[in-house]
Amino acid sequence: MHVLLVYDITNDRKRAKVADACQDYGLDRIQYSAFLGRLSRNHQEELMLRIEKIIGKSSGKVMLVPICDSDWEKRLETEHA
């Protein structure tokens, strides 16, 4: 299943660690604080637990949005160089 993970984390060091965790799980950075990729449900839960440990008591918000294959096929994209 495709997932979109976005975050707003105030602590620079923790924000960088969250980005590293996303990349460790094979997600691709599509914006500074947004990642996209395929993750099984188990890996989604593992990643969110890992992120919760990283953030700890710091302020921040992380949202992981699963995208079913039929909705993924309907996506619209544009890219400009």
pLDDT tens digits, one per residue of 65-80: 999 988 888 888 888 8
pLDDT of residue 21: 98
pLDDT of residue 30: 95
pLDDT of residue 28: 97
The 10s digit of each residue's pLDDT in 35-64 is 999 999 999 999 999 999 999 988 899 999
Mean pLDDT of the chain: 94
| Domain 2-73: top CATH class | alpha beta
First to last CA, the chain: 29
pLDDT of residue 77: 84
